[in-house]
């Protein structure tokens, strides 16, 4: 069931989104060669807790950390580790959620570690731009298929592929709510977008095949062909005046 949010709730979600965005920004500053992914996770947790919020991901479904940190061919759900040391040329997808005053903010960004290849930069740029294409279609009266189709069209026009096994989602008092928000689709199809809906749009884009596989830890999800993947995400409110990004820093 899709839960429409009041203006008051959306204001609360904007505060949760501000905290989540701030944590993501601080995590990105720490992406440098020689830094472990566990160090970055600690930065995320400390930032969120100092804001009086709680990390949305910590313990969620048994996930053992405050951020998902996914390097190179890891698509999503990478578990931070003191043994995973970043090196120059890596691309690092960081997904962060914060719960504040009963509501969640959820966002992700793929950061370059030092100088990265032209191919890696092009993938990151295309993924970030595809997110903005999707957001531009998050307009009251449109349908979910309009969002997914916009993302898919932008990505595939550049010879990349959209992951289909994982999708965006509603956000609110629960981290994951209805509706599911695929990054592919047909314009004019799917759930109609209404003012008060709050959704996370999050393209996961692969350099090669869209197929993925989950490793033995039952979390880490990698590209089936070992090629790079990028991930960007914002939490959005559908309003009468157009889409509003809730996961923005101060």
pTM of the model: 0.97
Q: Quickly state the pLDDT bin for 232 (edges 50, 70, 90).
A: very high
Note if the bond before 65 is cis, omega within 30 degrees: no
pLDDT of 34 reads: 98
Say how far residue 143 (Cα) sits from the centre of its chain: 20
pLDDT tens digits, 62-110 = 999 999 999 999 999 999 999 999 999 999 999 999 999 999 999 999 9
CATH architecture of 7-245: Alpha-Beta Complex (3.90)
Query: CB of 103 within 8 A of CB of 204?
Result: no
pLDDT of 249 reads: 83
Q: Is the pLDDT of residue 56 over 90?
A: yes
């Amino acid at each position: 069931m899709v839960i429409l949010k009041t203006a008051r709730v959306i204001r609360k979600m904007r505060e949760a989104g501000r905290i989540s965005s701030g944590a993501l920004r601080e995590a990105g500053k720490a992406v440098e060669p020689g830094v472990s992914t566990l160090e970055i996770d600690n930065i995320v947790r400390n930032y969120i807790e100092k804001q009086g919020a709680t990390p949305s991901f910590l313990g969620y479904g048994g996930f053992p950390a405050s951020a998902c940190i996914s390097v190179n061919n890891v698509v999503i759900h990478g578990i931070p580790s003191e043994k995973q040391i970043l090196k120059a040329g890596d691309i690092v997808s960081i997904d962060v959620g914060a719960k504040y005053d009963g509501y969640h903010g959820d966002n992700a960004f793929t950061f370059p570690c030092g100088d990265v290849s032209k191919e890696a930069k092009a993938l990151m740029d295309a993924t970030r731009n595809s997110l903005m294409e999707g957001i531009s279609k998050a307009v009251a009266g449109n349908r979910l298929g309009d969002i997914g189709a916009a993302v898919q069209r932008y990505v595939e026009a550049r010879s990349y592929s959209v992951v289909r096994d994982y999708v965006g989602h509603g956000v609110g008092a629960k981290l994951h709510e209805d509706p599911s928000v695929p990054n592919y689709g047909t314009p004019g199809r799917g759930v109609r977008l209404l003012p008060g809906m709050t959704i996370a749009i999050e393209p996961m884009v692969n350099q090669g095949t869209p197929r993925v596989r989950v490793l033995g830890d039952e979390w880490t999800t990698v590209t089936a062909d070992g090629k790079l993947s990028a991930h960007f995400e914002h939490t959005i409110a559908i309003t009468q005046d157009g889409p509003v990004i809730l996961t923005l820093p101060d």
